[in-house]
Amino acid sequence: MIFLIRLTILARLLTPFDFGLLAIASLAIDVLMRLSNFGMTTALVQLDDALPEHYDASWTMEVLRGTIIAALIYITAPFIADYLMEPRVVNLLRALAIRPVLDAAASIMIARFSRELNFRALVFLQLPKALVNTILSIFLAKELGVWALVIGTLAGSLVYMIQSYFIAPHRPRLILRLDAIRPLALFGRWVLLTSIVVMLSQTILRVVISRQLGATELGLYYLATSLAFMPTDVANQIVGAVAFPFYSRLQKNVQEVTLAFKSILISVAVLLLPISLLMIAIAPTLINDVFGPDWKGTVGIIRVLLVVNIFDVLGETIAPILNGTGHPNKILVIETIQSIILMLGVSSLISSYGAVGAALAWLPATVSSQVMGLFFLRRILNKPFSGMFIPFISIGLVSLIGSLLAVGIDLLLPGWIGLVLATTVGILVIGGLLWILERKFAIGLSYGFQQAYPPLASWLGLTRITG
């Protein structure tokens, strides 16, 4: 919600060109971050018997990584700007180069919170970071333009780093012992290779948009992806962050892992399908009346990417279970297939359809990765999709009904009033129909809902129904 508020207000205060400059500046840093992501923190969460020296070795590697990236960005900033044909990003690049150092210097004991499923502590870390970033960016936007986004990002990272040592106290030591690094690197190598593959596809995508269409179109695409992928980002933060350490604990019990997977998959579907279909329905009014006419070109991009979200419901549950059960190499295969198809289609589709073409390229890439994910899940789990047909069909049909009602209200009442009423009615209709179906016919939603939200499930009277 904080991110949505931030995005909405900044879209009114800044231009697509400002967002395009930030996207270009962030590109180089994201490339180097992924090229050097050795997966140390992920390995700490997955490792059953992590010792203090493992934590110190991981912290050391992350700090070295952040420092090297900062130095490379500072030195090569002019060359990067020349290649991307936007000289105004040189100083932006050099300022943002500080972020990897700040992120890496945070207390490594944060990884233990994930391992122990202590997400209350993680909230107290993430919330101040998000608030500081949002408040500063909005407060400075009118005066400083794109630099407000840079200052907000750096201030948020600084607050996170300082606060991490109060919430997760630790006195880090520089350790470069091979015996401490080796067990983390064996798992992390697959994370590194996966990061490289994802980085290549994302880099090519942004570079092609920037060079063929310019910074303004890249800014439109940047905001569209931020808004359209927000539901999947939320699902990843809520479900993925919890599921990975949870699967790590259960990895030797296939039956328990399978039950957990079904519960999580239904929870993700209940979250993503209704939100994605509702956003498709109200996208034109949302952009024109909330974000402003400057962003009108994002409507088509957003709608295509929301369709990608719908196809990617399964994808949001695949990575945590493959990582948690010790199969990160299979994530590499999935990401490689998706990236190859994405890169093959992006250039021609952008030439024909502009920034919308970049969104269209995601469709065949996502569908192909889902097929490969299904193949791997069937080999790891015990009948992972048995009994899932009726819940999924029910969620899809109910979400479609709610979205069609939202479209009708939006057409009858244009503007803010229609937007708020359409969204409210859509959510109430979808939630009400799902509740009725579950109460009357026990279609299979209760078990996952009970696991995710036990107090709310009890209040709704769903706890008496077995999954």
pLDDT of residue 132: 93
pLDDT of residue 48: 61
Phi, psi of 389 (to 5 degrees): -65, -50
- What is the C-alpha to C-alpha distance for residues 13 and 374, in angstroms, rounded to an integer? 44
Q: Which two tokens stand for residue 374?
A: 């299904």
pLDDT of residue 384: 81
242 closest CA partner among 386, 448, 49? 448
Kindly report the number of other CB atoms within 10 A of residue 306's CB atom.
Answer: 25
pLDDT in tens, the chain (467 residues): 787 788 888 888 888 888 888 887 777 777 766 665 556 666 666 666 666 777 777 788 788 888 888 888 889 888 888 877 778 888 888 998 888 888 888 887 777 777 676 777 778 888 899 999 999 999 999 888 889 989 999 999 999 999 888 888 878 777 666 555 565 555 556 666 777 777 777 778 888 888 888 888 888 888 888 888 888 877 777 676 677 777 777 767 778 888 888 878 887 888 888 989 999 998 988 888 888 888 888 999 999 999 998 888 887 788 888 877 778 788 888 888 988 898 888 878 888 888 899 899 999 999 998 888 888 888 888 788 887 788 888 888 999 999 999 999 988 888 878 888 998 999 899 888 888 877 766 666 665 556 555 665 566 565 544 43
- What is the C-alpha to C-alpha distance for residues 195 and 219, in angstroms, rounded to an integer? 24
Which strand (E) or helix (H) includes residue 457? helix 454-459
pLDDT of residue 135: 93
Q: Which two tokens stand for residue 356?
A: 């919308």
User: Mind giving me the DSSP string for 10-57?
Assistant: HHHHS-HHHHHHHHHHHHHHHHHHHHT---HHHHHHH-TT--HHHHHH
Helix residue spans in 325-453 (DSSP H): 328-353, 355-360, 362-380, 389-412, 416-441, 446-452
pLDDT of residue 188: 57
pTM of whole model > 0.85? no
- What is the C-alpha to C-alpha distance for residues 148 and 87, in angstroms, rounded to an integer? 19
The amino acid at 6: R
Domain chopping of the chain, boundaries: 1-187, 229-467
